[in-house]
Amino acid sequence: MKNSFEIGKIKGISIEINISWIVIFALLTYALATSYLPMNFEGVAATTAWMIAVIMALLFFSSVLLHELAHSLVALREGTEVKKITLFIFGGLAQIEQDADEPGKEFRIAIAGPATSLILGGVFLLAGELLARLGGPALIYVPLGYLSMVNFILALFNLVPAFPLDGGRVLRAIIWKKTKDRKKATRIASMTGTFFGYLLIFNGVFLAFSGNFLNGLWMLFIGWFITQAAQTSYQQVMMSDLFNKICVREFMTKNVVEVAYFTDIKTLTEDYFYKYKYSIFPVRRINEIMGIIGVEQVRRLDRTLWDETTVGSMAQPLGEDLVVAPGDCVSKAMEKVFRNGVGRVLVMEEGELLGIVSRTDILNYLHIHSMLGSGKDRVGLDLDKGEDR
């Protein structure tokens, strides 16, 4: 997430705070100190109210963090990498690296968060009750009751069966297990997500117009957020499914134009870059591909040296992230294409160059797919008509 900074690490998971979180933290503290506490405790001193408000807000966000941490720790135990947890305006977000590959895993990761919130709610409730019976100060046990309620709400809200909320993931896991069809399960869970999102939006609008403006606006925001999230996460799941099925062999552009290693840069510019309008060429030395040469590299070379410099002397050697095998799935190629800084990968088999896959190929495929719907039977779609390769 943009505008986030790390506050610490737990079991290798980076804990981040987003700027938007600070706003919500300040608002909550302010509301507690100036409204909730003075309303419940007449004549409470302002400094006491602010002190308790800050502690309450901190405990509230620790609860959110523990909820996310529960997801993350279960995910780690299930063998999934977790990069970071970000606290932001709508709560917390654990960045779990990949979707669970079987419904049981998904269920356990999803349920861990709400379960933790329920337990926290119980603990705060018990502590508050105990303190109240022992005659402890109301200034402590009333806030404990509030924190217990907040955790119960957190658990219930997240259990709403709206994908990608926890409840939606639980729902998806159950349907997935029953039907053995992950795609169908994702579709149903996303549809309920969109439905709940709209329900919240309508409710929010209604609330806002019936006088409860702030709560209505807040509900509208959350509803909008859920609707968006349901739709984008559905598309993401579908895309990654699609790209996990198609292999590079079917997707690549064949008949790649190569340039010989002894070619000078001037010739490369005139007879290759301008002629073919590709920004990158594989470089061949006798019977092997030794690397690639691109416009970017040439641009940095002094023009007076173009005649005497050979392509071979400037070629970028073929590293791991520039090469895929024809049997690799497109998602693997995509990962490298978007990461390697070149925007392309060469498809190689036993030292032979079979084809190339570019960022444009992938984006065009996505575009066509979004226009024509599921086109996985038409993967052969001809994408090699002079793309920006």
Binding-site residue positions for Zn(2+): 67, 71, 166
- 299's tokens: 């641009």
Least distance (Å) between residue 251 CB and Zn ion: 36
Beta bridge partners of 289: 284
Toward Zn ion, which CB reaches closer, 18 or 158?
Answer: 158
* Binder among 16, 99, 106, 166 for Zn ion (CB under 5 A): 166
Segment near Zn ion (CB under 5 A); pick from 137-145, 161-169, 222-230, 266-274: 161-169
Least distance (Å) between residue 218 CB and Zn ion: 19
What track of x and - describes contact with Zn ion for positions 97 through 116 (by CB under 5 A)?
A: ----------------x---
158 near Zn ion, judged by CB under 5 A: yes
Toward Zn ion, which CB reaches closer, 109 or 333?
Answer: 109
Number of residues that bind Zn ion (CB under 5 A): 3
Toward Zn ion, which CB reaches closer, 106 or 361?
Answer: 106
Least distance (Å) between residue 236 CB and Zn ion: 18
Amino acid at 282: P
Annotated binding site: 67, 71, 166
Chain residue whose CB lies nearest Zn ion: 113
Catalytic positions are: 68
Toward Zn ion, which CB reaches closer, 158 or 186?
Answer: 158
What track of x and - describes contact with Zn ion for positions 280 through 319 (by CB under 5 A)?
A: ----------------------------------------
Least distance (Å) between residue 159 CB and Zn ion: 9
Site for Zn ion in 111-140 (CB under 5 A): 113
Toward Zn ion, which CB reaches closer, 166 or 328?
Answer: 166
Least distance (Å) between residue 338 CB and Zn ion: 28
Site for Zn ion in 353-382 (CB under 5 A): none
Query: What secondary structure, in 3-state letters, does the chain show?
Result: CCCEEEEEEECCEEEEEEHHHHHHHHHHHHHHHHHHHHHHCCCCCHHHHHHHHHHHHHHHHHHHHHHHHHHHHHHHHCCCCEEEEEEECCEEEEEECCCCCCHHHHHHHHHHHHHHHHHHHHHHHHHHHHHHHCCCCHHHHHHHHHHHHHHHHHHHHHHCCCCCCHHHHHHHHHHHHHHCCHHHHHHHHHHHHHHHHHHHHHHHHHHHHCCCHHHHHHHHHHHHHHHHHHHHHHHHHHHHHHHHHCEHHHHCECCCCCEECCCEHHHHHHHHHHHHCCCEEEEEECCEEEEEEEHHHHHCCCHHHCCCCEHHHHCEECCHHHEECCCCEHHHHHHHHCCCCCCEEEEEECCEEEEEEEHHHHHHHHHHHHHHCCCHHHCCCCCCCCCCC
Residues engaged in binding Zn ion (CB under 5 A): 113, 158, 166
